[in-house]
Chains A and B, each alone.
Chain A
Amino acid sequence: MHAQIAFNRPVSSTYRHLGVAAPGFSRALSPGQFVMVRSPLVADPLLPRAFSIYRIAQEDGGVPVVEILYKVVGKGTQYLAQLDPGQAVEILGPLGNRFTVPETVETAVLVAGGIGVPPISALAMEIGRGQRRLEVFLGGKTADDILCAEDFEGVGATLHITTEDGSKGTRGVITDLLDSFLLGSRLSALHIFTCGPPGMLAAVSRVAEGRGVPCQTSVEANMACGFGACMGCAIEVRSSSPGPAYKLVCKDGPVFDSRDLVWR
């Protein structure tokens, strides 16, 4: 649908915060869902880009503003980074499924790496309104990669931060901290929700499985359409039948039970 850049500002040297004013867009945010964003009439970059929804706010006129956080990494995000407020964009969504918090969960363990944080923040905002305990793990290479810490503090979460260079929080990787937390925890009815780079998700999944804690993971994939037509965003799933089996990240995900995926 036709939409307009409401704001597009840097939040650090490589991360940016984008707001897209999209009349007619859903006002309800389901944490984990994503949008496809592209510029109209540009053949290169050709394909829309998938972004998890961070928030849905409202402009003065009542128009929903879809907010995303993105890292400038390639042609698509470089293009996006130079768009100014008022410029036209096309946005499709909300797409995909969402994180679901089972009734029985007492402590939600949220684990985000780098730019995986937006849907995790959205989930924390949703959970934060209830009675559950929130344990949040944020990891990155440097302090620059630790985003949204204030969001989590605002909903009373306990924050655990690691950076690989030690510039913020504990030096190391997030799964070390997560594993020792799970090992020493006397808490019951834990459930992990995670989003981040593939290597981190695989490690979190291993830790979760090792400690017997259920884990929902939001994954990313190269995606052309976002709504199940191109079949480009396949992800291998565990299957009892011979040969590999795939699901589509855009339609069957992006959130999966980590035990359903094949981790390499």
Chain B
Amino acid sequence: MKEPRAERVEPRAASRESRGEREQGKQAAGRLGDSGEHSRPAGGPVGLSVEFAGIRMQNPVLTASGTFGYAQEFEPYLDLNRLGALVVKTITRLPRAGNPAPRIVETPAGMLNAIGLQNVGIEAFIREKLPYLRRLTPPLIVNVAGESVEDFRELTKRIGDQEGVAAIELNVSCPNVAGGLDFSTDPKLTYQVVRAARDATGLPIIPKLSPNVTDIRVIARAAEEAGADGISLINTLVGMAIDVRTRRPKIANVTGGLSGPAIRPVAIRMVWQVAQAVRLPILGMGGIVTGEDAAEFLLAGATVVAVGTANFLDPTNALKVVEGLRDYCAANGIADVRRLAGGLQIPR
């Protein structure tokens, strides 16, 4: 099993007024590493703060890249400062118009998308999006995608030079872009991309892996050897849907990435496998809608989780996951969410 990496995390300065922050402060005196999580009575305060890839977060609930825009889209609906960290939509070197319509379609308990990495490009991102994101208090994780190893090096360097960025997530696994950007189906390419990014910046590097592989552990190990600081998984599963009346594919790109609750069992399995294969902390995602869904990922071995497709159903969903996770911990006598990490118990 993966050893718990989290060190003791002090509560952040009490400059913010959010409920999450205050509650965190209350439990700060609780010592870690002593008796098991079932020793506390149910209903007590719950410590939610964690450390992931060297970044302190007030709670383990992040937003999945590509489902949260550049955060500002959600400002009317929720207090962004109560999230664990913000992961924003993939940035490429040049602006991208994206794919033709239709780009999305609902499928059973999920959706297929082929947006095509529509984005403003790195320079416009730095100019127009970053100043807003910098004003928010949760750590900012910028997601980048390149068409070559060299692209990744440049993007990582340019983002790494900006103030207010906590880490860089590498989108080595977008299934929807012509020319095959799916580096993470090949351990050698994964290694090269992560290595290039590693050498280009001192910021934590978090490759986001594709589930469309035979053995996810091989790819995760390659990322670890190349110097990654954490691993995000999973990206979407490649899928397809056909309109049987018109006999046409339901999205213009023909194939697309499947997300939503439909993929959660696959994601849980992969997080569990990777947690045993590498020592890197895991950012787990795939179909999380509730706090209990998040707990499932933590039990499988993730240190933090990201809410993705559920942000579309309900723009406040990510905060509901924070509250749901707190409720789950309180109801089960878990004083500190870090105690959940890798807590899966398999009866013999």
Residues of A participating in the B interface, judged by any CB pair closer than 8 Å: 38, 43-48, 75-76, 90, 92, 221-225, 227-236, 243-246
Contact = CB atoms under 8 A, between A and B. Distances in A.
Contacts of B261: 43, 46
Contacts of B113: 224, 230, 232
Interface residues of B, number: 33
Contacts of A92: 314-315
Contact of B314 (A90, A223, A233): A90
B98 A231 contact: yes
B313 A48 contact: yes
Interface in B44-94: 67-69, 73-74, 76-77
B311 interface: yes
A43 B309 CA distance: 11
Interface stretch (B99-107, B186-194, B220-228): B99-107
Interface of B: 67-69, 73-74, 76-77, 97-106, 108-111, 113, 115, 118, 260-261, 289, 309, 311-315
Contacts of B309: 46, 224
B115 A229 contact: no
Given A46-B261, A230-B67, A246 B101 contact: yes
Given A38-B313, A232-B115, A227 B97 contact: no
A48 B74 CA distance: 17
B293 to A, nearest CB: 11
28 contacts: A43-B260, A44-B108, A46-B110, A46-B260, A46-B309, A46-B313, A47-B111, A47-B312, A48-B313, A75-B106, A223-B104, A224-B113, A227-B73, A228-B69, A229-B311, A230-B67, A230-B104, A230-B115, A230-B312, A231-B103, A231-B118, A232-B102, A233-B103, A234-B100, A234-B115, A236-B100, A244-B100, A245-B97
Given A43-B109, A44-B109, A234 B314 contact: no
Contacts of B315: 92, 225, 227, 229
A139 to B, nearest CB: 22
A4 to B, nearest CB: 17
A221 B67 contact: no
Given A229-B67, A234-B118, A47 B313 contact: yes
Contacts of B104: 222-224, 230, 232-233
Among B99, B106, B108, the most chain A Cβ lie within 10 Å of the Cβ of B106
Give me the 6 closest cross-chain CB pairs, A-B, nearest first: A232-B104, A225-B312, A224-B312, A44-B109, A229-B69, A43-B109
Given A43-B289, A231-B103, A224 B111 contact: yes
Contact of A46 (B100, B102, B103, B106): B106
A234 B98 contact: yes
Nearest to B289: A43
- Chain B interface helix/strand/loop/mixed: loop
A46 B109 contact: yes
Nearest to B310: A46
B65 to A, nearest CB: 12
Among B68, B98, B105, B313, the most chain A Cβ lie within 10 Å of the Cβ of B313
Contacts of B68: 229
Contacts of A228: 69, 73
Given A92-B315, A229-B315, A246 B106 contact: no
Contacts of A224: 104, 106, 111, 113, 309, 312
B118 A246 contact: yes
Nearest to A235: B101
Contacts of A221: 101-102
Nearest to A251: B73
Nearest to B96: A243
A234 B114 CA distance: 11
A76 B314 CA distance: 16
A230 B101 CA distance: 13
A236 B101 contact: yes
A47 B261 CA distance: 11
A97 B162 CA distance: 35
A228 B311 CA distance: 11
A243 B312 contact: no
A229 B73 contact: yes
A234 B111 contact: no
Among A227, A231, A235, A245, the most chain B Cβ lie within 10 Å of the Cβ of A231
A92 B311 CA distance: 13
Contacts of A225: 311-313, 315
A226 to B, nearest CB: 8
Contacts of B108: 44
A13 to B, nearest CB: 20
A246 B102 contact: no
A234 to B, nearest CB: 5
A47 B101 contact: no
Given A224-B312, A225-B312, A246 B97 contact: yes
A50 to B, nearest CB: 12
A1 to B, nearest CB: 9
Given A222-B102, A224-B104, A229-B74, 15 more contacts: A43-B109, A44-B108, A46-B111, A48-B312, A90-B314, A224-B106, A229-B67, A229-B69, A229-B73, A229-B311, A230-B104, A230-B113, A232-B103, A234-B98, A234-B115
